Amino acid sequence: MLQRQTPLSIDWIGDVDGYLDLIDQTRLPERLEYRTCHTSDEVWQAIRQLAVRGAPAIGIAAAYGVILAARDFAGGSERWRPELARALEYFASSRPTAVNLFWALDRLRARADRLPASASADDLRRELLDEARRIHQEDREICREIGRCGAELLADGDGVITHCNTGGLATAEFGTALAAILTAADQGKQLHVFVTETRPLLQGARLTAWELMQHDIPATLICDSAAAQVMKEGRVRSVWVGADRIAANGDVANKIGTYALALLARAHDLPLYVAAPASTFDLSLRSGDEIPIEQRAAEEVAEGFGRRTAPEGVSVYNPAFDVTPAQLIEGIVTEWGVVRPVETAGIRRVLSPAQENRKLSQ
């Protein structure tokens, strides 16, 4: 079980009248700074600007953001119910792809729905804070479980490639794919991690390289376009990524560039593992074609390094995510076990305890 020291990516300070502290991921690696959010708008902006990012972290931050919105609610349920619906809708508009966001908002909605008509706005605030704290705490435990399941797939001496950031910054603690790597390292396995830069916003270079260095895990930064060469040179045994949304057939939406890595892994006969909590599955979607893909600003590509790197006026296409077909994925590591082979029936089998648990807690 992981017992490492790591700074808290998300921290709710105080009680119902408290506030949210987030590690400002836009400042790393130069500065480890917290961004304090006293209003729901500040949380919404932090999500939109990627100050807090990574599918599970977005869900947790939004849940706390709703509590900040609820601070202004007053009166009885006939008044706060429509206000709550507006706050949930507001956060749902922050980023479209990571389903953990909508999952967390649904949990708050369900909790509020169970309150009697006589419940006051104060009652609602207490319930919402309790639910947000549960989501946060559960994610800590889930990351440890994913780490435990994933570490079994890593062997002493393995080189691995990882993409984007799937560490403690992207979750409540320790991460998903990175938790597997950290757990394997704690078991005494010597690993070497090749970290892709992850253009355009460099989550790999800025965040994953920083996290691995904090944990003393040997790591080498590569350009995204160096991955094929690293594979060809025989330096890696597997590829490890996270996910933002997984359809019922196992197609995975993750940071742009994941699909390319998956194709390269297949060409070099290397397994690709996706690590994600049950809350990242969206069983209402039959395939990855139905996953909404976030389109982001042209400046992220044309001025990503703080100065213009492309001619003024050039047309830019900047999808933040791509979809990797299930057939290219060797296994999906969840807190409930590994889905392998990746297909609808296997997903339903592995996730069935998660669905049972959800029913019991409702």
* Residues taking part in catalysis: 244
Q: Which residue, 197 or 244, is less far from ligand MRU as judged by CB?
A: 244
CA quadruple 300, 301, 303, 305: dihedral sign: positive
Let me know the angle formed at the C-alpha of 129 by 128 and 132, rounded to the nearest 5 degrees.
Answer: 85
Q: Which residue, 159 or 242, is less far from ligand MRU as judged by CB?
A: 242
Distance CA 254, CA 346 (A): 20
Q: Which residue, 121 or 246, is less far from ligand MRU as judged by CB?
A: 246
Distance of closest approach, residue 199 Cβ to ligand MRU, in angstroms? 12
DSSP state of 204: I
Contacts of residue 81, defined as CB under 8 A and 6 or more positions apart, other chains included, come to 112
Q: Which residue, 129 or 135, is less far from ligand MRU as judged by CB?
A: 135
Q: Which residue reads 């997903």 in tokens?
A: 347
**Strand runs labelled E in the chain:** 10-13, 19-23, 34-37, 159-162, 192-196, 219-222, 238-241, 245-247, 252-255, 272-275, 281-282, 321-324, 331-334, 337-339
Tell me which residue has its CB nearest to ligand MRU.
242
Let me know the angle formed at the C-alpha of 268 by 217 and 322, rounded to the nearest 5 degrees.
Answer: 75
Distance of closest approach, residue 318 Cβ to ligand MRU, in angstroms? 11
Distance CA 357, CA 349 (A): 14
Site residues (vs ligand MRU, CB under 6 A) = 50, 53-56, 98, 164, 166, 170-171, 175-176, 203, 242-244, 254-255, 320
10 strand-pairing partners: 22
